[in-house]
Amino acid sequence: MDLTEQQRKMLEGECGEGAALAMKIQVAIGRSFGAKRMVPITRAHVALSNQEADLWFAEKLLSAGAKCKVQPTVNPGFSLAYFEKAASLPDEARSLMQRTHNAYKELGAVLSYNCTPYLGSNIPRFGEIAAFSESSATPFVNSVWGARSNRESAQSALCAAVTGFVPEYGLLLDENRLGNILVEVKADMKSDFEYQLLGYMGKKIGTGVPVFTGLPENISQEALMNLGAQLNTSGAYGMFHVVGVTPEARTLEQAFGGKKPLRKVVITNDDLRDILNVISEPGMRKIDFAMFGCPHFTLKQVQEIAGMVRGKKLAVEMWILTSSYVREMADRMGLLKIINDAGGHVVEDTCCDQPCWPHLNGKTGVTESPKCAYYTRRRGMSFVVRDLRTCVEAALKGEVE
Domain ranges in the chain? 5-174, 178-277, 280-400
Contacts of 153 (CB under 8 A, 6+ apart): 47, 133
Q: In 3-state terms, the chain is what percent helix, strand and coil (to 5)?
A: 45, 15, 40
pLDDT digits (tens, 9 = 90+) for 194-240: 999 999 999 999 999 999 999 998 999 999 999 999 999 999 999 99
- Fold agreement (178-277, 280-400): no
Q: How far is CA 348 from CA 20, 328, 351, 386, in A?
A: 35, 9, 9, 23
Average pLDDT across the chain, whole number: 97
Domain 280-400: CATH superfamily is Aconitase, domain 3 (3.30.499.10)
Please answer whether residues 44 and 174 qualify as being in contact, where contact means their C-beta atoms are separated by less than 8 angstroms: no
Q: How many CA atoms lie within 13 A of 44 on its CB side?
A: 30
Write down the pLDDT at residue 217: 87
Backbone angles phi, psi at 187, to 5 degrees: -90, 160
pLDDT digits (tens, 9 = 90+) for 256-306: 999 999 999 999 999 999 999 999 999 999 999 999 999 999 999 999 999
Task: Give the separation between CA 287 and CA 109, rounded to whole angstroms.
Answer: 39
Decide if 293 contacts 352 (C-beta within 8 A).
Answer: yes
Provide the CATH number for the domain formed by 178-277 in this structure: 3.40.50
pTM of the model: 0.96
3-state secondary structure of 31: helix
Rounding to the nearest 10 degrees, give the CA dihedral for residues 119, 125, 127, 131. Answer: -50
296, 349 contact by CB (below 8 A)? no
* Close Cβ partners of 278 (under 8 Å, ≥ 6 residues apart): none
What pLDDT, in 10s, does the model give residues 333-370?
A: 999 999 999 999 999 999 999 999 999 999 999 999 99
**Is the pLDDT assigned to residue 63 strictly greater than 90?**
yes
**Which one-letter amino acid corresponds to residue 138?**
T
Return the CATH architecture of domain 5-174: 2-Layer Sandwich (3.30)
- Alpha helix positions (H), 164-220: 192-199, 202-205
